A and B are shown apart, each in its own frame.
Chain A
Amino acid sequence: MTVDVRAGTSVAGGIGQRAIRPDGIAKVRGEYAFSGDLWAEDMLWGQALRSPHPSARIRAIDISPALAINGVHAVLTGADIPVNRYGLEHRDQPVLADDIVRYTGEPVAVVAADHPETARRACAAIVVDYEILVPLVDPEHAIDAPPMHPDGNVFRDLIIRRGDDDARGPIAVEGTYEIGMQDQAFMGPEAGLATPTSGGGVDLVVSTQWLHNDRDQIAECLGLAPALVQLSLGGVGGAFGAREDVSLHVHACLLATRTGRPVKIVYSRAESFLGHVHRHPARIWMRHTARPDGEIVSFESRILLDGGAYRSSSYHVTANAACFAAGPYRVPNARVHAIAVRTNNPPCGAMRGFGVVQSCFAHEAQMDLLAAACEIDPVELRLRNALAPGDELLTGQRIEGTLPVAEVIRACAALPLPDPAVDDVLARPGGAGRTADAVDVRRGVGFALGFKNLMYAEGYMDGSVARCRIDAGVVTITCAAAEVGQGFVTLVQQIARTVLEVDDVIVAPADTAIGSAGSTSASRQTMMSGGAVEQACRAARAELETRATSDPDAGGTNPGLIDIVALTTDRPIDVTEEFNHRLTHPLDADGQGDAHVSFACAAHRAVVDVDPELGLVRVVHLATAQDVGRVLNPLQVTGQIEGGIAQGVGLAVMEELIVQDGHVRNASFTDYLIPTALDAPTVEATLIEEPEPGAPFGAKGVGEPPTISSTPAIVAAIRAATGAPCTRVPVRPRDLM
């Protein structure tokens, strides 16, 4: 991939530079401590027993056979949990099911033992007497079915109404689309090490996206004051939304406090698939009407999301699916009805793109239908309807910041197409094992556009705290923002170098000793925690300049001459700052309101080779133009774009958790396929830099847009190659017949 960016600052390793990650060397040397690598003296291994049924009543649990096994130190059930309820946004989930199990894989007991194999054997020895119930697995039925939880079956029922309900254009297109259940499939399974502390509390080192939210939930469940629960970030092997919800946290802490010994839990891959939330499967109906010149007149949609057994973030996923249902297009008249429901399927929640991925697949298929119906080029149709600053969203919110929709469309469409297919068997659809004949392979090109909100929405009071300490010239930045691989730690150094004009910056470990940085999600850390770091560094800089002014020997007012060592020796500077974005507001009864902070858009053009007879697809090339505000680190932006596109490729052509009657059938990397190096396309990107007001250095979060419109672009290319309608992702071989 090539990236064209303008120069940033002149500070080496500062903003705009290709700065290298501070943890890179430790990671390539195998020395970086992931949470699964942790070890403590006298450590025990924890293991959960999970329900084999999607819906059942627990009549009795007999733990005595497990306790009788040599090496087993504790076996706990729901009755042992002081407050047996947790949940990311709403506490509707038991830590250990004590009455009803609502999904396959729900934990019902936990064991601590001296060897992981002993712990597994102990789990197998626990006898649970289940009364098996009929699972509720059809989300459509769930709406009106008897409630399967005291909080009901509907997580959210949201209507957005804009303009004239009866307005219609002469051209109409309509479709129903399905999105399968995608998994985040990060590489480092869930892991943590809990250690009891002397005052009856517990320390937990864990991989997570949000230390403070976890801390609060753990403290609640254990019945402890939050100050008695300390969390530190263990090395995180990717996240993509799946580490927003608590997983093993309470189990490990409870086993540690009960046994008085450190307890480590590491999920197997199968357990990881069962033990975290997934992307919501969706069924989406849409109808657009337009004038003959392609201008959209009306938009209607019904969106049904299967939230699975517990709420997690379903409430806000619903809002995102609805608010951005029409895509980045001017739509004067709209009616959107979005519903998320509870079922006995696996719980669903956050995954990169958060509700917008589902809508984007549908609205982009619709835009291609509309282009065909109006006999207009699909790129031209998108340009004619493109949103711009000053326009209003479906929610009536006026776009105040930057949103270069037309620019990303034009820039993406202008990128060169790849060369014709090379005649190498490895380059053909199916690769070496399932060789397609070169004569049967057809090439297709597809285009798609998407946009999404950045930061949390609907009135959430969001903030992030960062601390800058300068002691004898040594700069240390502390922030609880979770580094999950995205490179926030690099950004911390770049910001501090730029603001303070220093070379060396220490990034302190992230823990709950400092205030919350919020979650590493919603593309928010660059703005929120980047903003907090910038603010703290600027405050430190101001203090340096004040000191220098009163100390002519230390540099006076010329920043380049400030002697940072002299000014902070024996009197360190230590400032802590909180960054907040502007206020947003809830949506009203018509789904109208100023609910979102900021937006980012991207366009993708995919080239695919398809063998329709064998049903095989190879995604050859992805061109993209992305609205990034401003490039803070070209290496890392590139990594986010290429990585996000690979996940979009996965949803388009291979990734789906297969759930039958409430059972996940492919909870392994043998059966749940994610793209390999042979599946990943070559990526060509152009970055559109229009600095975002109010964001540090004008930068927008860049992680989500690559995942949103890459999938529909690929499916559009498959349609172009085959003529098959492909209204469902992932596209299966039989969809091409």
Chain B
Amino acid sequence: MSEIYVLRVNGEEHAVADAWSGESLLYVLRERLGFPGAKSGCEQGECGSCSVLVDGVLVCACLVLAASAVETEIVTVEGLQPAERGEMSDVQRAFVETGAVQCGFCTPGLIMAVHALLDHDPDPSDLVVREAISGNLCRCTGYGRILEAVEVATRRRSGGPGSGVGARGVSGPEVVAE
């Protein structure tokens, strides 16, 4: 067991006590601090389901020792959106509206990857988008709707034509999160 250490997650400090020092950041976020948004899909940095930002850099939380992430700013999917129930970031909204979500297991990691991409490159080409999300495996969608979601989010950020809700004919009822 290690000494108490402190992780700063989504702007708030959390003390981690009585933890085995071999625990990954992913385990501590999920099992000790109550942030289950990052998912455990492979535990070897291949699937990207556990993607979080550490000091603004997209990392696989399964490959980071939790104790080594002290004195960093950690952002998880829970920290992206306004806290109000049902609210979404622009990327999250685009994912829902374009059908980019099926089983949803890869979704939080992909949302993190797309935020990281668009925050650095506001107008990426199709191949750049594919490269940027190629560390995030999705088994349900074949990526088509995800690429569409990135396109919609990109267009809306630039405020260009078709940036309003319902772009590309996507329409449907307002739904309430369960």
One of A1, A189, A238, A426 near B140 (C-beta < 8 A): A238
Partner of B44, one of A238, A266, A668: A668
Report whether B139 and A19 are in contact in the complex, using a CB–CB cutoff of 8 Å.
Answer: no
Kindly state the separation between the CA atoms of A19 and B103 in the bound complex, as whole angstroms.
16
Chain A residues, Cβ within 8 Å of B46 = 668-670
B101 within 8 A of A: yes
Is A511's CB within 8 Å of the partner chain B? no
Size class of the contact patch on chain A: 35 or more
Cβ of B104 and Cβ of A32 under 8 Å apart?
Answer: yes
Contact residues in A for B53 (Cβ distance below 8 Å) = none
Interface size on B, residues (CB 8 A): 67
Which of A299-307, A479-487, A689-697, A718-726 participates in binding chain B? A479-487
Structural contact, A426 and B127, CB atoms closer than 8 A? yes
A18-B169, A25-B88, A30-B108 in contact; A426/B130 too (CB < 8 A)?
yes
How long is the Cα–Cα vector from A643 to B100 in the complex, in angstroms?
A: 11
Whether A238 contacts B172 in the complex (CB less than 8 A), given A670-B46, A676-B137, comes out as: no
Q: How far is the CA of A503 from the CA of B176 in the complex (A)?
A: 12
**A165, B143: Cα distance in complex, Å:** 47
Are B171 and A31 within 8 A (Cβ)? no
A645 to chain B: which residues have CB within 8 Å? 142
On whether the beta carbons of A117 and B173 are closer than 8 Å, the reply is no
Interface check B154, CB cutoff 8 A: no
Report the Cα distance A636→B140, complex, angstroms.
11
Say how far B93's CB is from chain A's closest CB, in angstroms: 8
The interface residues of chain B lying within 8 Å CB-to-CB of A670 are 44, 46
- Contact status A28-B101, CB under 8 Å: yes
Residues A677 and B177 in contact, CB atoms below 8 Å apart: no
B146 partner residues in chain A, CB cutoff 8 A: 677
Q: Tell me whether A30 and B103 are in contact in the complex, defined as CB-CB below 8 angstroms, given that A18-B172, A186-B139 are known contacts.
A: no
Taking a contact as CB atoms closer than 8 A, the residue among B76, B127, B133, B170 that contacts A18 in the complex is B170
Q: Contacts A236-B103, A668-B44 known; A24 to B96 CB distance under 8 Å?
A: yes
**8 Å CB contact of B172 from A17, A37, A643:** A17
Q: Which of the listed residues B22, B43, B97, B105 has the most CB atoms from chain A within 10 Å of its own CB?
A: B105
Q: Is A462 on the interface with B (CB-CB < 8 A)? A: no
Residue of B nearest to A240 (CB): B139
Q: Are A677 and B42 in contact (CB under 8 A)?
A: no
Residues of A within 8 A of B105 (CB): 34, 186-188, 237-238, 485
Alpha-carbon distance A339/B129, docked complex (angstroms): 46
- Report chain B residues within 8 Å CB of A665: none
Q: Say whether A34 contacts B39, CB under 8 Å.
A: yes
With A17-B172, A683-B142 as given contacts, are A432 and B131 in contact (CB-CB < 8 Å)? Answer: yes
A187 x B144 contact (CB < 8 A):
no
CB neighbors of B among A680-707 (8 A): 680, 682-683
CA distance A117 to B176 in the complex (A): 38
Asked if B97 and A677 make an inter-chain contact with CB atoms under 8 angstroms apart, the answer reads: no
Question: Knowing A25-B177, A29-B77, A30-B38 touch, does A677 contact B143 (C-beta < 8 A)?
Answer: yes
Q: Pick from B42, B106, B129: contact of A269, CB below 8 A.
A: B42
Q: Whole-angstrom distance between the alpha carbons of A28 and B104 in the complex?
A: 7
Cβ-defined contact, A24 with B175, below 8 A: yes
CB <8 Å contact, A189 and B41:
yes
- Is A644's CB under 8 angstroms from B172's CB? no
CB-based nearest A residue for B99:
A635
Mask of A487-512 contacts with B, CB within 8 angstroms, 1/0: 10000000001000001000000000
Of B22, B40, B146, most A-chain CB atoms within 10 Å = B40
B138 near A187: Cβ-Cβ < 8 Å: yes
CB distance from A534 to the nearest CB of B (A): 19
**Could you say which of B43, B104, B169 contacts A23, with CB atoms under 8 Å apart?**
B104
A647: chain B residues at CB < 8 Å are 139, 142
Closest partner residue, chain B, to A650 (CB atom): B139
Query: Quick one: given A29-B88, A485-B140, A677-B133, are A639 and B39 in contact (CB under 8 Å)?
Result: no
Closest CB pairs A-B (n = 4):
A30-B37, A485-B103, A27-B104, A237-B105
Question: Which B residues have a C-beta under 8 Å from some C-beta of A?
Answer: 20, 22, 30-31, 35-44, 46-47, 49, 76-78, 81, 86, 88, 92-93, 95-99, 101-108, 111, 127, 129-131, 133-147, 169-173, 175-178
17 new A-B contacts at CB < 8 Å, known A28-B111, A238-B105, A269-B43: A20-B175, A28-B93, A28-B96, A29-B92, A30-B35, A30-B37, A237-B39, A432-B131, A484-B103, A486-B102, A639-B99, A643-B141, A646-B139, A669-B47, A677-B131, A677-B147, A683-B142
Would you list 28 pairs from A and B whose C-beta atoms are within 8 A, ordered by A residue?
A: A17-B172, A18-B172, A23-B178, A24-B95, A24-B96, A25-B175, A28-B92, A30-B77, A30-B108, A187-B103, A237-B104, A238-B139, A240-B139, A432-B131, A485-B104, A497-B173, A635-B170, A638-B144, A639-B141, A668-B44, A669-B41, A674-B137, A674-B139, A676-B133, A676-B135, A680-B144, A682-B144, A683-B144
